[in-house]
Amino acid sequence: MGANKKVYLVDESGERMCGLDVIEGTEGPPVIDIQKLYKETGYFTYDPGFTSTASCVSALTYIDGENGILRHGGYAIEELAEQSTFLEVSYLLLKGELPTLEEKRDFEDMVLQHTMLHDQLQNFFRGFRRDAHPMSLLIGATGALSSFYHDSINVNDERSREISTYRVLAKMPTIAAMAFKYTKGEPFTYPDNGLGYVENFQKMCFGLPVEEYKFIPESVKALEQIFILHADHEQNASTSTVRTAGSSEANPFGCVAAGISSLWGPAHGGANEAVLKMLDEIGTSSRIKEYIEKAKDKDDNFRLMGFGHRVYKNYDPRASILKGTCKEVLGALGKDKEDLFVLAQELERIALEDEYFVDRKLFPNVDFYSGIILKAMGYPTSMFTVLFAVARCVGWIAQWNEMMRDSDRRISRPRQLYTGERLRSFVSIEERK
Ligand code: SDX
């Protein structure tokens, strides 16, 4: 990474105001380094939503939105989804390389050592209402981890960060499954370290103490793939939240809890739950046109959930993969003629023929099909974003580690364009009209 050319800011008369370095990365758009802009010109930049702003340097994930490309460590998401496991992809995100057989075994063993929670955390769950949204339990329990693991919250110590990383990766499935069990009124199922990461999670979610849990291979494979597809995604809203929280040197469990809160929003990770609610509301193909018109109506705040993306102006590669998986899993579960799946495909077909969506490059995103698969697996819509969080926590903690190792790390503190009142004198309450 180096600056090999400059651009110049000039005023209306053509007078040069300052020269700014252009920095090239490995791939993707170069950046203009504006760190000295205010000092040299007295100007801030303005970019709400950061559509044109790079907030950091990162080597974990590369997205080319125009061409529907997603890579982790240089590997195409299509190959990772088809040929690797979630823990292999987790290793890749954390270490920068795919593991050898021995490295994979050691990594899996380390994760397995941290799957259990401090038993007192069960009391924490019991303080919640049974009908609480599982995301609220996930936020609370994850933040509470920092009250149990004081030995690994020294964020400036590499070994502490490593232990916290394993704890987040290993405990998130346990917390998520406990949140699910608690809302169902079923007893918690302890982790079974004789199982793989995904099987363990499925058994903790659906296993019962009164019978042996039977796995459905297609369902395990599909969930493994869903976890891989949701692992990391550059500087999305929740990842940026984790980085911002971590920039103040807050503990990693609190940072991840902040990320879960951001992910919960329907414009972000909550969209998979919102897609199912939207499909349920549409109900039949005959009503699709009505909802397409609502989505296009500027006076109606309804948007087509699962469509559009800040970065992808082409098909989200994850959506393409999940559409195929959806067919496979529903077929294996005998649900491929499900009204929901048929309706979703018809909605996609009609939307992609409509110039409003075509002109704005609004294609299905990762959330459009994931919910249908999860519903077929037996998860309620309230658990969809929880599963997204279980997968994304490795991306959050990998990005947090990358930031904590970055020698250029500084506390995030954006400026603003002030549009409030100028100086005025205080008026006592007796004189106010
Ligand atoms: C995720 O960032 C990530 O990487 C996120 C994610 C990840 O893995 O972390 O990929 C996961 O969050 C996927 C996105 C899930 N959200 C949804 O499916 C909710 C529905 N989508 C929209 O809310 C929206 O598309 C966003 C939030 C995803 C993107 O919003 P942008 O980039 O701010 O887009 P925009 O508001 O600038 O929209 C551009 C135009 C506008 O119309 P005009 O003003 O140009 O006339 O497109 C319209 C928008 O009104 N538009 C939509 C629409 N999305 C955008 N119109 C109808 N339905 C939609 N879904």
Take atom 2 of ligand 1 and give the residue whose Cα is closest.
236
Q: What is the pLDDT of residue 1?
A: 65
91, 93, 133: which is closest to 110 by C-alpha? 91
Helices (H), ranges, 57-120: 77-83, 86-95, 101-112
User: With 0-12 CB in 10 A as exposed, 13-18 as middle and 19+ as buried, what is 281?
Assistant: exposed
Query: Is the predicted pLDDT of residue 274 greater than 80, yes or no?
Result: yes
Distance in angstroms (rounded) separating the CA atoms of residues 73 and 152: 27
Query: Counting Cβ atoms within 10 Å, is residue 253 exposed (0-12), middle (13-18) or buried (19+)?
Result: buried
For the Cβ of 295 lying below 6 angstroms from any atom of ligand 1, the answer is yes
How sure is the predictor about 152, in pLDDT bands with cuts at 50, 70 and 90?
Answer: confident
Cα 310 to ligand 1 centre (Å): 6
Residues near 266 by Cβ (< 8 Å), separated by ≥ 6?
Answer: 273, 274, 305
Task: Of 3-17, 197-211, 225-239, 326-340, give the lowest mean pLDDT range.
Answer: 326-340
Examine the residue annotation and report whether 150 is marked as an active-site residue of this protein.
Answer: no
Ligand 1 nearest-atom number relative to CA 49: 33
Q: Report the residue among 263, 303, 314, 390 best suited for mutation to probe ligand 1: largest number of ligand atoms under 8 A from its CB.
A: 303
Report whether residue 232 contacts ligand 1, using a CB cutoff of 6 Å: no
Give yes or no: 339 in active site.
no
Percentage helix, strand, coil for the chain under 3-state DSSP, each rounded to 5 = 50, 10, 40
* pLDDT of residue 336 exceeding 90: no
Given a cut of 80, is residue 259 above it in pLDDT? yes
Asked if 381 and 133 count as a contact pair (C-beta separation under 8 A), the reply is no
pTM across the whole model? 0.95
Q: Whose CA is nearest to atom 28 of ligand 1?
A: 309
Q: What digits encode the pLDDT tens for the residues 197-248?
A: 999 999 999 999 999 999 999 899 999 999 999 999 999 999 999 999 999 9
State mean pLDDT over 298-305. 95
Average pLDDT in the chain: 95
Pairing mode, if any, of strands 2-10 and 69-72? unpaired
* Cβ 1 vs Cβ 14: under 8 Å: no
Per annotation, catalytic residue among 133, 232, 309, 316: 309
pLDDT band at 335 (very low <50, low <70, confident <90, very high): confident
8 A C-beta contact, residue 233 and residue 63: yes
How high is the pLDDT of residue 334? Answer: 85
Percent pLDDT > 70 in the chain is 100
